[in-house]
Structure 1
């Protein structure tokens, strides 16, 4: 399993408590559409991801991230920059 796959798996674990619709998670799963998250849920989830990976996701980055796959890519990039 690659580091990127590990990151995706960890993100999927972080999503579970917030996944009220029990949507199946794929690279293309969207936070707003598929998971139907409101802004408060997104903020809580982002905080959990930041804690899990010890990173900081800026508001600008958050605005560009729409899918689980995009989030995994962003986390991998932020971890590599450390």
Structure 2
């Protein structure tokens, strides 16, 4: 089943709130490191959750270009399209 951008964004927000708490505003432009304080350990945990949630495999080197929630959503979309 194809996931829309907004569907992926909402599902990703759910997972991010496990690290940030429910009161933190998370938008597409939110910076994962500077605004959400996602460190390397949290990032690896998040990636494992993303892989389970979306049934994908995220290459670690692909994360080098990901800074915002929007960029992470786009990465998830690209990986999902590539495996179809």
Q: How does the TM-score come out when normalised to structure 1?
A: 0.89
Counterpart for residue 57 of structure 1: 58
Equivalent residue runs for 1:15-34 within 5 Å: 15-20=16-21, 22-34=23-35
Q: Structure 1 residue runs of 4+, over 6 Å off?
A: none
Q: Number of residue pairs matched?
A: 81
TM-score by length of 2: 0.87
Counterpart secondary structure, 1:76: helix
Unaligned 5+ runs, structure 1: none
Deviation at 1:20, TM superposition (A): 4.1
Kept after mapping to 2: 8 A contact 1:26/1:68: yes
Q: Counterparts of 1:15 and 1:66 in 2: how far apart (Å)? A: 14
Give 1:36 deviation, angstroms: 0.9
| In the alignment, structure 1 residue 47 sits paired with structure 2 residue 48 | yes
